[in-house]
A = this chain, B = another copy of it.
Amino acid sequence: MNGNRTAFLQGLSKIPGLTLVTDSAELKYLAKDRTGTGSESAMVLAEPESEKQIQSIVRLCREFQVSIVPQGGRTGYAGGASSSGNDLLLSLHRMNRILELNPYLPSLRAQAGCITRSIQDYARKEGYYFPVDFASSGSSQIGGNAATNAGGIRFIRYGGMRNHILGMKAITGTGEILETNGEILKDNTGYNLKELLIGSEGTLGIITELTLALTAQPPESVVLLCAHSTSGDVLELLAHCRRSGLDLHAFEFFNQGCLQKVAEHLKLDLPFSNPVPYYSLLEFTLDNASEEFLESGELFQLCFEALPASSDSGKKKFWSYREGISESLSAGPVHKNDISIPLAGIPSYLDQLQQLLEQRFTDLQSYLFGHIGDGNIHINLKPADGSLSTLDFHDQCRSFDQANTELIQSFHGSISAEHGIGTLKKAALLTVRSETEIQLMQSIKATFDPDWILNPGKIFDRMQDSGIK
């Protein structure tokens, strides 16, 4: 910080209409995101209601060299919205208005603080569909989704946030407003700054408004819950779906450990009489192709058992096995990884991962689930029994991450498919992206935010000039 804390807070309090929170108990709670990492404190929370207020905040923070942590629903898994101790937390939650529906595209213009579910509900009420969806849709915000380029369970059919952002308003680290693209589908006028801001985790600009592409309501669908003896069968089932011309809405998977946890947590019956190592959950359009698929010999070869559901309640129950997993793992220590692997390599990667865990990490219990149809697997680790200290657990997880990063690289995969880098993957980023790339990113950061006040310490730390050629 540059200058006097009291003077800074006084300056803030003079911004017309701006709500501030300085209560330390409240700040202690808000200083962390879902990961529980970061500092126990922050300097102040600002709750702006307009771009103008945000511009004033940014300019004041620049003058006093105060770091800004933009916060959406704080539902991230990478520490991207956590405080480093003396920051200004900037919550978007008061900027939660849906502004305009355009029925021609169709599209919806909305402020960044809108809850994801409210966007989904509004679209559905108007006869459209907003397909970006995940377990945290009830609390995540649409601006945070854009800042992290969120993916989710419908990616396989619709893509993620990047595919649904037509226009964006954002405020840079110098307090300037960027308004990019708007409601046009095609715009090749210079570098696409919008695409750069998507997934930049609040380090290049504070996203304040989005124009979102909506789609038609999805067609009637079937959910199929399948039990598999090998991960190879899961991938072969995906290939069989593709060959069958199935219109997939989702292709998810989880292992036996996840099923046990979620059934206990949600008090659900086990869907199959005998446990198997892997389960897949498919959703697809009910059409001629799906009718043939459901009768196909390959389906029965690749699945130990396969249960279809076409009623709303049946589909919901099957989905709860998948969507309840994260929550069922949240009691006690848990270490999360969110990786992606080119599809062809997945069975081999999973075999090698299993070997790695069995040979070197017998104190860790692994829970694997995720969007396997996109090549995206969430690896969750917990202590195998109660005897492992928290410190030892975290040590082992760190070692695991190192070994796993090497393994992922050998498959040309990604160490962060949809969760982003935040603070938790910073070290790994330096090993998976080249020096050239890191330098380009650092320089782009300095371009949008010359004083490094926007979410500093997220994605990467500031390297001194010597590091940048």
Which A residues are within 8 Å of any B CB, using their own CB? 102-106, 148-149, 151, 155, 160, 162-163, 172, 174, 176-180, 182-193, 195-196, 198-200, 204, 216, 235, 238-239, 242, 245, 340-344, 371, 374-376, 412-421, 425, 429, 432-434, 436-438, 440-441, 443-444, 447-448, 459-460, 469
How long is the Cα–Cα vector from A192 to B176 in the complex, in angstroms? 22
Q: Would A184 and B414 count as touching, CB distance under 8 A?
A: yes
Instruction: With CB as the reference atom, state the residue of chain B lying closest to A460.
Output: B190
B148 engages A188 (CB within 8 Å): yes
CB of A134, distance to nearest CB on chain B (Å) = 13
| Complex-state Cα separation, A242 to B216, whole angstroms | 9
Q: In the complex, what residue of chain B is closest to A151 when comparing beta carbons?
A: B186
Q: Shortest CB–CB separation between residue A165 and chain B, in angstroms? A: 11
CB-based contact B185/A340 at 8 Å: yes
Please tell me if the beta carbons of A414 and B187 are within 8 angstroms of each other in the complex: yes
Q: Are A340 and B193 in contact (CB under 8 A)?
A: no
Bound form: Cα–Cα A183–B155 in Å: 16
Among B102, B374, B425, the residue within 8 A (CB) of A185 is: B374
Cβ contact within 8 Å between B192 and A418: no
Contact A188 B447 (CB under 8 A): no
Is the Cβ of A184 less than 8 Å from the Cβ of B375? yes
A7 to chain B, nearest CB (A): 25
Q: What is the distance, in angstroms, from A455's C-beta to the closest C-beta of chain B?
A: 13
Name the one of B179, B188, B417 contacting A187, with C-beta atoms under 8 angstroms: B417
Most buried by B among A155, A160, A343, A448: A343
Q: Is the CB of B190 within 8 A of A104?
A: no
Contact of B186 with A374 in the complex, beta carbons under 8 Å: yes
Beta-carbon contact of A176 and B340 below 8 Å: no
Q: A188-B199, A191-B204 are in contact. List 5 more A-B contacts (CB 8 A).
A: A102-B343, A105-B342, A186-B371, A191-B444, A216-B245
